[in-house]
Structure 1
Amino acid sequence: MRIHLVNPNTTVSMTDKIAAAARAVARPGSEILARTSAMGPASIEGYYDDALALPGLLAAIAEAESDGVDGHVIACFDDTGLEAARTLARGPVVGIGEAGFHFASLIAHRFAVVTTLSRSIPVIEANLVRYGLDRRCCAVRASEVAVLELEDAASGARGRISAEIARSVAKDGAEAVVLGCAGMADLARALTEEHGVPVIDGVASAVTLVEALVSTGLVTSKHGAYAAPRPKAYTGLLKDFAPRES
């Protein structure tokens, strides 16, 4: 099984960390093909970054489809471009945010999310509503750690994330916590041991879900919302993204 893992930002060191987390949980025989977006922001923090990450992400999905992968993981907790990516893909496409939420809902009655900056909270809250899991989430908290601080061991990021988890367990009644950034993927196990509640990494969750979907022979439906884009002309900088006849 060949799983395409795409980091929609352009920071290669983060891709390497995410890929290591994915390979740590992948089944024997599953190959993780990690790719860093070739264009876009160095990190995705809010609506503007999210919008400008889409062309690079969709180009990566299209390239991986040409390579014949079995499924895709979008390694941004905002689930950047998830719906659009599904229109390009034959196999399943899973975002780490949606995967993390679903894993949490299966092992805890109430879960919290601890993310990076406050500006990410509205995106996550909207996704929880869209996925029908907002009533299961007791809080979305920001550690006020910038995404790229997660790449700097001297930044104190881990301590701030841990402190926010402790507050959520004590004040919100969180029974599990989802880490709200792909760059936190290497922290889940240690934070679980530290706090005594499940701390969930969406990267591991998404890889596991893609493996399960592929193993059961399920693919992305092409009837309705995720049908392939209709061929038409695009202009300007987006001309190379114009859908063509298959």
Structure 2
Amino acid sequence: MPARVFVDQALPLETVIDLPPGPARHVQVLRLQPGDALTLFNGQGGECSARVQQMGRSQVSVQILTHDPVDRELARHVTLAVGMPANERMDTLVEKATELGVAALQPLVCERSVLRLAGERAEKRQAHWQAVAVAACEQSGRTRVPTIAPVLTLPAWLANGPVRDGMSACVLDPRAGTAALPETGAALFLSGPEGGLSDAEVQLAEAAGFRRVGLGPRVLRADTAPLAVLAHLSLRSL
């Protein structure tokens, strides 16, 4: 199977283009040679077959051949808003959520958060997580890259009114017991960090239009609960 590479630019058919620096390095790391096939996608839908034309020290030229309008996305728009788990768990959460079809991910700082980011540190981590999402799309076959939003505090995010008309909004709360998840339409799920959301935060979410749902009798980790929801929705859409 040809390597898949994300290129954030137009991909006109039957033309030769120079890859941007990031994708060019990716192709070089893969040790592709002139004549080798690869697949390019730009997040606008579908993917293009291409062929390496020239390899230089820092320049890689490819010929765009054909476009395949393949669609491997979830049939519905699902957003995760997550209290960021610490250490490498957030990287894993972004990677796996992308594989499972999330459309957007909102990192949050909550009352009980261990990982607290702001300013330049937050911007750097956002850029890093966006790159993780791109790599997961390249691996999984997705043709649209989820958006990793800037880090916000939970109150600031809720104040922006994230619940839109026609959207199902759920806050994951193990104290809620087991409740049915929304099976159709756009959906937004809020989950807490290590230690969960406080009572005040859950009440704030409910006031903003969220309803409490539980995922069963066991308490899931901060990086497990949102992935369990996505896995369920992904399988239901098959």
TM-score w.r.t. length of structure 2: 0.30
Larger radius of gyration: 2
Higher strand share: 2
